Structure 1
């Protein structure tokens, strides 16, 4: 897969997708977002790839929307821009593979939204996160959707209303990222997490990821109704029966993806 604004490579059964506009602070232009959607969709159709790492070239993870595309446009053009952005964030969560954000630097506005929308995130100690749109007259309303779900109301609103950045450790404490590591160990720790996930049955991981997003915003009775049906279907799957048998027999399971 050849792209202009992103790069794609694989490490065994791990896909590494890299935002590759360092000269523009990896701003999410319309073309970059479309390339990401296309790349993620292609990855989603591949059974040989178990996990996705979303990384970025340069010192900035992403500065958010490309503001040069947001001056003097018509209403329908803005609607299209934010529709594509919404499609991208949804695609991160709808593909069967878990997506890990590898955050090496600052992630602001829609760049922060990108991190919040990924299933998992690991940040370097120097990374920072902000939704500063309020400072330029454009409230980060679409980033607010992902941010409020990751952080909860009070912390999300603090970021949204002040526009102030939080450091990587605060982001971990607040639940925006899973952990913080030294910059020189960022790729090593991200790949280690990806490989740990990839040890499981790809079918079971995909089933679980889909169920997570299906139930997370339901009330408890509906969530349990959803969960018990999915878990019942999981229990009759070949990989579930193999995994249970392997555990009881004290051997390594042999996954078939069925």
Structure 2
């Protein structure tokens, strides 16, 4: 993959899988306003691309992502300018959750603050066993309040509060145990497990995956009765879709399905 120093976000598309690579290695892939803008725009482009089945989020350099670009932020003047950075970050994180394609984080190294938020926002996450995760804002007088939103939705409250209150990094094995990532693997196996999982998902019906991802996040915010009523409606619509008809027919005929979408 090319590493043009002027390109802060690299995109590669192969076999229905789009890989977005953060490429600010000297800045430990800090989320500058420019990088967040490019990431937001590229996610929007891919959302409208029917050939893209899965999105993988990766990074170059010694860190996966160190969070916000604090040097850039210290240069801002006034509340509105500061608020615009967090608003942009929120748009990126919400875009990942609402992306029609599943988004997989491939974490090769440290992910801190908004970088940890990025991992927590993705649908799946695989990490090198040597990777570390932290929400260390409390150490510099800036509590990780926006990272807290994503973090508290994927790990238990006690675990989230431990990370937020102490700022202490956790290792990949702990991140797996707490549910922040799916799996911690040897660094040399990270590419393989990510690629295999992406390919497995890319082989499914895109419409079915999109329907399921959207339903998952919507029902998670509902009470039990509302969630079941909503999920039943979604499943009814899904059952009547062409790909469900094809999938069931293929299963009964013991042949591979041929998806229409």
Query: What are structure 2's unaligned runs of at least 5 residues?
Result: none
Q: In the alignment, does 2:245 pair up with 1:236?
A: no
Q: Pick the aligned partner of 2:118 from 114, 117, 125.
A: 114
Q: Of residues 212, 218, 235 in structure 2, which corresponds to 1:214? A: 218
How far does the alpha carbon of each residue in 1:100-138 deviate from its partner, in whole angstroms, 9 at most, with x for none? 000000000000000000000000011000000000000
Which of residues 200, 204, 222 in structure 1 aligns to 2:204?
200
Deviations 1:170-190 (A, max 9, x none): 000000000011111111110
What secondary structure, in the 3-state scheme, does the structure 1 residue paired with 2:180 have?
coil
Alignment equivalent of 1:54, drawn from 39, 57, 60: 57
SS in 2 for 1:151: coil
Shift of residue 59, structure 1, vs aligned partner: 1.8
* Matches of 1:225 and 1:20, distance apart in 2: 44
Deviation at 1:12, TM superposition (A): 1.4
Pair 1:6-2:6 in alignment: no
Runs (4+) of structure 1 exceeding 2 A deviation are none
When the two chains are superposed, the root-mean-square deviation of aligned CA atoms in Å is: 1.1
Aligned equivalents of 2:164, 2:221: Cα separation in 1:
22
Q: 2:186 matched to which residue of 1?
A: 182
Partner of residue 28 from structure 2, selected from 22, 25, 41? 25
SS at match of 1:144: helix
Note if 1:157 corresponds to 2:200. Answer: no
Q: How many residue pairs end up in the alignment? A: 256
Q: Which residue of structure 2 lines up, in the alignment, with residue 94 of structure 1? A: 98
Distance across 1 between alignment mates of 2:164 and 2:105: 21
**1:103-142 correspondence to structure 2 within 5 Å:** 103-142=107-146
The one-character-per-residue Cα deviations of 1:143-173 (angstroms, maximum 9, x if unpaired) are 0000000102110000000000000000000
Structure 1 Cα separation of the partners of residues 166 and 117 of structure 2: 16
**What SS does the aligned partner of 1:70 have?**
helix
The TM-score, its normalising length taken from structure 1, stands at 0.97
TM-score, normalization by structure 2 = 0.96
- Which residue in the other structure is 1:64 paired with? 67
